[in-house]
Amino acid sequence: MLDLTDRHCRAFFRLFSSNVRLYTEMVVVGSIIHGDRERFLGFDSCEHPVALQLGGRDPEKLSFCAQLAEQWGYDEVNLNIGCPSDRVKNAQFGACLMAEPQLVADCIDRMVGSVAIPITVKTRIGIDHCDSYEYLASFVNAVSNAGCRHFIVHARKAWLKGLSPKQNRNLPPLHYDRVYRLKKDFPSVQFTLNGGITGIDQIKTHLSKVDGVMAGREAYQNPWIIKEIDDYFFASNNFPGGKPGSSRSAPVHSRQDIVQAYLPYVEKQLSRGVRLGRMTRHMLGLFHAQSGAKRWRRYLSEHGVKKNAGIEVIHAALKLIDADANATNVNAVRADCRERQHSDAMNGRLYMGDTPAVCVAGNG
């Protein structure tokens, strides 16, 4: 996801699962060719398996960047043909390339012919008025014939005229049935479904009809779902069709475990001059829907961005979570005791305070 899944985010996500494939934010080919390659291609070895997502429309430049990606050790190169942002649209790549299937096919042909790692395509189900299933199938046919054997399909169309990038993430309706139909019509091609993924039950349904599922916004806002996915589908081997599972070598049991596991990476990056806020911004959703989540987010947001902020900021934020958890446990015990007081009084037993202090004989 653009401006979100940078190397620090991916290193954080990897702590939840050693199995799920991670994708970089979209990197424009011009940035790689003319810019700082360590900045745009560098990643930590812990991120594997990891895919580089490229943005561009020139077959030669895309081929060159795919070769660089292979040299740098990426496991896959993904061509983004789904991004509807104004910046991307003005440069005539991203989602607008759905209107040029032959050019996309030429790009894929050059990329596939220049590397040994997989070349995949991330796309929408349509754009503007090019939104029929027939158009989508024709697009997939042209691009798959050029050598793409795996499509990641966001099951929404993109309105390039009239909707903002944010609106394009939510307003166009989801049509999962079209992705299912693609799999039926192109059985030898892999299809991963993307868009609106929020839970395990939903993923189970999709995996009975397509080859894979990609979670984006939900995973970023609630990264604990990555662990839930790993536990259910990989560690417990619950893939439809019995695909082999795998378990983490160092499983985590709590969100606090995740924080402790991330600290060595944070310290290493701080020693290299990376600002703490570049890492803590990806941790804000860790305690999503948990006691103390708001205080966690606020503390990291306010203190993580300060100049010279160090590892102590994360420790302090974690203490807020622990304090809230303890308070919640005390309140839960008190509520349970009140309930027992009421129940036992009705049955002839009386509890004083939080312990059974007095027992009074009841009815006979």
Q: State the catalytic residues.
A: 83
Q: Are 16 and 262 in contact (CB under 8 A)?
A: no
Identify the helix (H) or strand (E) that includes residue 124.
strand 119-124
Round to whole Å and give the CA distance between 20 and 229.
9
Residue 261 exposed, middle or buried by CB count within 10 Å (0-12, 13-18, 19+): middle
- Which amino acid appears at position 47 of this protein? E
Identify the helix (H) or strand (E) that includes residue 24.
none
Q: Are 213 and 192 in contact (CB under 8 A)?
A: yes
Residue 214 in tokens: 């990609």
Round to whole Å and give the CA distance between 117 and 63.
12
User: Which residues share a beta bridge with 158?
Assistant: 127
Round to whole Å and give the CA distance between 175 and 352.
59
**Omega into 172 within 30° of 0, i.e. cis?**
no
Nearest partner of 73 among 10, 7, 18, 117, judged by Cα: 117
- Tokens 């009074």 belong to which residue? 360
Q: Are 237 and 207 in contact (CB under 8 A)?
A: no
At a CB cut-off of 8 Å and minimum separation 6, what does 271 contact? none
Nearest partner of 282 among 87, 55, 15, judged by Cα: 15
Q: How far apart, in Å, are the Cα atoms of 140 and each of 59, 64, 143, 210?
A: 18, 24, 5, 15
Residue 55 in tokens: 């943005």
Round to whole Å and give the CA distance between 115 and 235.
32
Round to whole Å and give the CA distance between 131 and 294.
41
Residue 244 in tokens: 């082999």
